[in-house]
Amino acid sequence: MVLKPQDIVIVLKLLGHRRRPPFAQFAADLLISSSEVHAAMKRLQLSRLIHGPEMHNRPNLQNLEEFLIHGVKYAFPAKRGESTRGIATSYAAEPLKRMIVPDNQPIPVWPYSAGKERGVAFSPLYRTVPAAAIRDTSLYKKLALVDAIRDGRVRERSLAEQELLKLLRQDVDG
């Protein structure tokens, strides 16, 4: 079984939960089918990014950190597209937004018709990411940081790595 991009969205959402929520709730929160959440949990467990049921399917923080910092940009590279309306991501979203002064280039945005930003289309990990991120600010921050790692310049990636590690550890420590 090979990881899929939505698996990363699911494991990021899973952080902060002491126990895995019911698949139906998880699916509704992420706008993904319950069967897809179930399949993702199996792939995440086989990839050792989450522990098994004996540990309540909690994220394996050490492995997850390593994959997000060193592997996600190769496994799921970002694709940029045309100018569009959407939701800011990467360095144009919090928490990097307050650390990086943007240049005159269009900002990266997830295409989303209800978005309020204008920029260059940046492919989200999964098609439902923009709507799910609007519902959950913690998830939004993690996904934006992962996007900076997937496609940022050296300084953006470095800051994103530091911030993402802080957020991941906060979620696990409770």
pLDDT in tens, 38-59: 999 999 999 999 998 878 788 9
pLDDT at position 101 is 80
pLDDT at position 104 is 87
Do residue 101 and residue 143 come from a single domain?
A: yes
Do residue 66 and residue 90 come from a single domain?
A: no
CA distance 43 to 32: 15
pLDDT at 102 over 80: no
List the domain range (segments joined by +) for residue 108: 78-152
Residue 102: cis peptide before it, omega within 30 degrees of 0: no
pLDDT at 173 over 80: no
pLDDT at 174 over 60: no
Using the structure block, give the residue that is written with the tokens 């959950």.
136
For residue 115, which of 93, 143, 142 has the smallest C-alpha distance? 93
Residues 69-86, mean pLDDT to the nearest whole number: 96
H-run or E-run covering 117: strand 117-122
pLDDT at position 149 is 97
Asked whether 87 and 122 are in contact (CB, 8 A), the reply is no
Residue 90 counted as domain residue: yes
Out of 59, 74, 89, pick the residue that ends a domain.
Answer: 74
What's the predicted TM-score (pTM) here?
A: 0.94
Do residue 82 and residue 57 come from a single domain?
A: no
